[in-house]
Amino acid sequence: MSLGLCVIGCGDFAKVFAQEMQTLAGEVDLFFASRDSQRAAEYAVAFNGKASFGSYETATADPRVEAVYLCTPHFLHREHVAMAAAAEKHILVEKPIARTMEEARSIVQTAQRAGVTLMVAENYRFMAVVRRAKELIDSGALGELRMIQMQEETDFRPGGWRVSREQNGGGVLIDGGIHKIDILNYLVGRPADVYATALPQVLDQLEGEDGVVVLTHSRSGTVGLINHSWAKVGGKGPKWVTVSGAKARISFDLAGTQITINDGLEERTLEAAGDRHGLVPMVLEFRDSIRQGREPETSGSVGLEDLEITLKAYESMESGHVVSLD
Q: What is the pLDDT of residues 139-155, one digit of tens each?
A: 999 999 999 999 999 99
Residue 287 pLDDT: 98
For residue 224, give the 3-state DSSP assignment.
strand
Residue 77 pLDDT: 98
How many other C-beta atoms can be found within 10 angstroms of the C-beta atom of residue 303? Answer: 26
- In eight-state DSSP terms, residue 201 is P
What's the Cα-to-Cα distance from 38 to each of 32, 34, 122, 280, 283, rounded to whole Å? 11, 8, 29, 27, 26
Give mean pLDDT, residues 116-120.
98
Express as a percent the part of the chain with pLDDT over 90.
Answer: 98
Residue 100 and residue 207: Cα distance in Å, rounded? 17
What CATH number has the domain spanning 3-121? 3.40.50.720
Answer for the pair 121, 282: CB distance below 8 angstroms, yes or no: yes
For residue 73, give the 3-state DSSP assignment.
coil
Give mean pLDDT, residues 239-263.
97
Q: Is the pLDDT of residue 235 over 80?
A: no
Average pLDDT along the chain? 97
Residue 237 pLDDT: 84
Answer for the pair 62, 53: CB distance below 8 angstroms, yes or no: yes
Give mean pLDDT, residues 261-289.
97
Give mean pLDDT, residues 56-64.
98
- In eight-state DSSP terms, residue 74 is G
Residue 31 pLDDT: 98
Answer for the pair 196, 226: CB distance below 8 angstroms, yes or no: no
- In eight-state DSSP terms, residue 200 is P
Residue 148 pLDDT: 98
Interhelix angle for 300-319 vs 101-114, to 10°? 170
H-helix or E-strand spanning residue 193: strand 193-198
49 residue type, one letter: G
Q: Is the pLDDT of residue 232 over 90?
A: no
Residue 1 pLDDT: 83
- CA angle (66 as vertex; 62, 70 as ends), nearest 5: 90
Question: Between the CA atoms of 175, 52, 25 and 281, what dihedral angle is there, to the nearest 10 degrees?
Answer: 20
Domain ranges of the chain: 3-121, 125-278+307-324
From the list 25, 189, 161, 27, the residue with the least C-alpha distance to 94 is 161
Confidence of residue 207 (pLDDT cuts 50, 70, 90): very high
Q: Is the peptide bond before 96 cis (omega within 30 degrees of 0)?
A: yes
273-278: Cβ within 8 A, 24+ apart:
273/128, 273/132, 274/128, 274/131, 274/132, 275/126, 275/127, 275/128, 276/127, 276/128, 276/129, 277/20, 277/123, 277/127, 278/123, 278/124, 278/125, 278/126, 278/127, 278/128, 278/130
Residue 136 pLDDT: 98
Give mean pLDDT, residues 64-89.
98
Q: Is the pTM of this model over 0.95?
A: yes
What CATH number has the domain spanning 125-278+307-324? 3.30.360.10
Q: What is the DSSP string of 93-160?
A: EESSS-SSHHHHHHHHHHHHHHT--EEEE-GGGGSHHHHHHHHHHHHTTT-SEEEEEEEEE-B----G
Residue 236 pLDDT: 80
Residue 227 and residue 150: Cα distance in Å, rounded? 6
